[in-house]
Amino acid sequence: MQPMVIAERGTYTFSDYFKLNLEVEDVLAYFGYGFVVQNVALPQTAVNPQRVRDLTTRLEESLPFISLSNETARREFLIAPVIAELVYYTHAKVRVEMPVTVSQQLQGTFDYFLQAGQRLLVVEAKKGDLQNGFTQLAVELVALDKLEKSDEKLLYGAVSMGNAWQFGLLDRQAKRVTQSLTLYRVPDDLETLLEILVAILKGD
Mean pLDDT by runs of 10 across the 204 residues of the chain is: 62 93 94 96 96 96 92 93 97 97 96 96 93 97 94 95 97 98 96 98 82
Given a contact cutoff of 8 angstroms between Cβ atoms, the answer to whether 44 and 192 are in contact is yes
What pLDDT was estimated at residue 203?
A: 78
Q: What is the tally of structural domains in the chain? A: 1
**Which amino acid is present at 43?**
P
Strands 119-125 and 154-160: parallel
What pLDDT was estimated at residue 77?
A: 94
Residues facing 165 on adjacent strands: 160, 184
Instruction: Provide the domain limits for residue 140.
Output: 4-202
What pLDDT was estimated at residue 204?
A: 63
pTM of the model: 0.94
What pLDDT was estimated at residue 21?
A: 87
What pLDDT was estimated at residue 9?
A: 67
Q: Using CB atoms within 10 A of its CB, is residue 72 exposed (0-12), middle (13-18) or buried (19+)?
A: exposed
What pLDDT was estimated at residue 8?
A: 65
- Find out whether the peptide bond into 187 is cis, omega within 30 degrees of 0: yes
70 HSE (CA, 13 A, CB side): 2
Please choose, from the candidates 136, 90, 81, 144, the residue with its C-alpha nearest in 3D space to the C-alpha of residue 113: 144
Please choose, from the candidates 71, 92, 52, the residue with its C-alpha nearest in 3D space to the C-alpha of residue 190: 52
